[in-house]
Structure 1
Amino acid sequence: MATRRYRIIFMGTPEFAVPSLQALLDHREEVVAVVCQPDKPKGRGRKLSPPPVKELALAAGIPVLQPTKVRTPEFLEELRSYRPDLMVVTAYGRILPGPLLSLPPLGTINVHGSLLPKYRGAAPVQWAVLNGDTETGITIMQMDEGMDTGDILLPGSLAIEPDDTAGTLAVKMAALGGRLLTEALERLKEGNLPPHKQDERLVTLAPPLSKELSAIDWQKTAREISCRIRGLDPWPMAHTTLEGKWLRLFAPQIIPGPVREAPGTLCRADKTGLTVATGEEYLRIGEVQLEGSKRMSADAFLRGRPLAPGLRFPT
């Protein structure tokens, strides 16, 4: 007997959502429509650029909807016309209303970038790195009108490596999300996907990132600063100041040892990187980007702009 194919409307926008949509296509589900955010201007020419999910959907011949508003009766009727059994959401980028979530008979499920109830909100991947966690994961959840408050359907964990940035971790988590989504659909068809309430005592939040988080305080420990640099890469990027300009920092490495210099002191500047004293241990910076320039290795930067040990970065 052939396995039933669900009629699915997929809602997602950025690169993080692409593996989820690809998983549905590889699983041969019937994706009847894709909903994503409108095209946005990008680059110096500010040319309108389609979201990554739209590009995949069009390549697969799937109708794409890009509403400016999702709460209108007209949009709800348009979705209803596709007769979906289920809706799947991965990083769509907007709060969705109850009538939309409950439109399909099987409701709406979400591929969320944390192990709920930890890190509810817009930036769960980044906050896991910022807070120095060693493990995170993906939760397939039943969506309700709250901010990631719905029942847990299927969690899956993932280790955070010491050199992971928010960007590299997001790639791994997106791939895990696609695999878990496929497993969740199989269990749903078997009647083996029971919901579990979230433990409200364990809730933490992951609010949107802002540029106010970017400035480095060298009095923090090397580990805390490393987490800040990696958690804000690729956006909004951590920075210190060099001669009145922002110097963005990447690829940190903790150098153990007692610190003798004041926090923010440049102790070594060579092809291995910029070694800076912190409130506890040293931190070696492997890549930098001076305001108005491009990102490069510290070695390449120093060849064009030598820095002498003893320089103090502001805290």
Structure 2
Amino acid sequence: MKLVFCGTPQFAVPTLEAVIEAGHEVRLVVTQPDRAVGREQTLHAPPVKQVALERGIPLVQPEKIKNNRAFQTQLESIAPDAILVVAYGRIIPDWMLALPRLGCINLHGSLLPKYRGAAPIQWAVANGEVVTGVTTMRLDAGLDTGDLLLAQVMPVGLEETAVDVYECLADAGAKLMVETLSGLAEGSIWPQPQDHSLATLAPILKREDGSIDFSRTAKQIQDRWRGFQPWPGAHTVVRGKKLIVHRMHPAEKSLGLDEGMIAVEDNVLSVGCGGGTMLVLDEVQMEGKRRMSAADFLRGHQIKSGERLGNGR
């Protein structure tokens, strides 16, 4: 097929490479502009751009696409059979949805209609899902509301973080997109409307999502930490200062602590959580300091049983 590929982060790279290897003709890659990152504001190219340059594929990085007449003319001249959209990061305008004969085909990192939105992988892990997956769908004007094409279910390990699941789903999604294009070419895939009554949302993550709420159970807190990797992570407040938690695990037993109350025993730092559960903090970091084991933290700060961790942000 003659394709236009729209994608930006590493998640989209396996799909771009897979459709090229499958023999499809990617006429144009569309990705976000280079962005300044870090304290020195160094420009970084999106991973998808790097693949396009290595492969010698024509590339554009429009800041806006909705009313971009030059961009529209360029796509119309290509007349693609399909436009693939994988974590592109822009809303696809109506003129673009209507352009290709097979539509705009999106790879989404969840089993739709669950987890519609910007952060499906993170929220699935954060909510303690034991299975998730990837879905190909035909984009429409709604938020991940288009007709479903194919789906692939994937297990979520109890210790896996969003980073781990992200990599697995990126690879599975690449294979699923190739299978979807093959099925559309053969006429063996019939788009199915979503059951909108089953929809859940996965909104873009905010810094405050990483604030630990000790009224949740220890497992729920750990799940949110797993889901919010690498950002916003998990953090709380001790003695008025921000404390980042880098590793944690639910305790096998409970000491009957109040929510947020600390227990220190044999260099183990535990905290009471909802439902009578208890969380062990394994590795922590005071804001502006280096990360360290909980044992080193206890020795350096003389934290005592009975002190409290707060929900500061």
Per-residue displacement from partner, 1:212-250 (whole Å, max 9, x unpaired)? 222212122112211222222211222111233221223
Q: How far did 1:8 drift? A: 1.0
SS in 2 for 1:224: helix
Structural RMSD (CA): 2.0
> Residue 94 of structure 2: which of 95, 98, 109 is its match?
98
Using the alignment, how far apart are the partners of 1:213 and 1:103 within structure 2?
38
Counterpart residue identity of residue 39, structure 1 = D
Per-residue displacement from partner, 1:142-190 (whole Å, max 9, x unpaired)? 1111111110000111111111222222111111111111211222222
2:11 aligns with 16
1:88 aligns with 84
1:3 aligns with none
Counterpart residue identity of residue 65, structure 1 = V
Is the counterpart of residue 139 in structure 1 residue 135 in structure 2?
A: yes
Q: How far did 1:15 drift? A: 1.4
Counterpart residue identity of residue 7, structure 1 = K
The 3 A distance-change label for structure 1 pair 237 and 270 is farther
Counterpart residue identity of residue 222, structure 2 = S
Is the counterpart of residue 152 in structure 1 residue 148 in structure 2?
A: yes
Q: Are the counterparts in 2 of residues 163 and 251 from structure 1 also a CA contact under 8 Å?
A: no
Q: Are the counterparts in 2 of residues 230 and 251 from structure 1 also a CA contact under 8 Å?
A: no
Q: Aligned runs of 1:225-304 on 2, under 5 Å?
A: 225-268=221-264, 274-279=269-274, 280-298=276-294, 301=297
Is the counterpart of residue 184 in structure 1 residue 213 in structure 2?
A: no
Using the alignment, how far apart are the partners of 1:58 and 1:37 within structure 2?
14
Per-residue displacement from partner, 1:73-120 (whole Å, max 9, x unpaired)? 221111222332111000101111111122122211000011111111
> Residue 201 of structure 2: which of 195, 201, 205 is its match?
205
Counterpart residue identity of residue 184, structure 1 = T
Q: How far did 1:270 drift? A: 6.3
Q: Are the counterparts in 2 of residues 16 and 174 from structure 1 also a CA contact under 8 Å?
A: yes
> Residue 40 of structure 1: which of 32, 35, 40 is its match?
35
The 3 A distance-change label for structure 1 pair 294 and 94 is farther
Counterpart residue identity of residue 275, structure 1 = S
2:170 aligns with 174
Q: Are the counterparts in 1 of residues 257 and 271 from structure 2 also a CA contact under 8 Å?
A: no
The alignment's TM-score, normalised by the length of structure 2, stands at 0.91
1:314 aligns with 310
Using the alignment, how far apart are the partners of 1:84 and 1:296 within structure 2?
53
SS in 1 for 2:149: strand
Q: Are the counterparts in 1 of residues 79 and 99 from structure 2 also a CA contact under 8 Å?
A: no
The 3 A distance-change label for structure 1 pair 149 and 277 is same
Count, aligned residues = 309
**Identity percentage over the alignment?**
45
Q: Which runs of 4+ in 1 moved over 6 A?
A: none
Q: How far did 1:34 drift? A: 0.7
Using the alignment, how far apart are the partners of 1:59 and 1:42 within structure 2?
23
Using the alignment, how far apart are the partners of 1:296 and 1:30 within structure 2?
50
Q: How far did 1:63 drift? A: 1.4
Per-residue displacement from partner, 1:250-269 (whole Å, max 9, x unpaired)? 33211232332222233247
Q: Are the counterparts in 1 of residues 6 and 29 from structure 2 also a CA contact under 8 Å?
A: yes
Using the alignment, how far apart are the partners of 1:283 and 1:198 within structure 2?
39
Q: How far did 1:130 drift? A: 2.0
Using the alignment, how far apart are the partners of 2:293 and 2:122 within structure 1?
23
Q: Are the counterparts in 1 of residues 257 and 278 from structure 2 also a CA contact under 8 Å?
A: no
SS in 2 for 1:117: coil
Q: Are the counterparts in 2 of residues 129 and 165 from structure 1 also a CA contact under 8 Å?
A: yes
1:51 aligns with 46
1:75 aligns with 71
Q: How far did 1:44 drift? A: 1.7
Using the alignment, how far apart are the partners of 2:24 and 2:266 within structure 1?
54
Q: How far did 1:297 drift? A: 4.5
> Residue 218 of structure 2: which of 201, 218, 222 is its match?
222
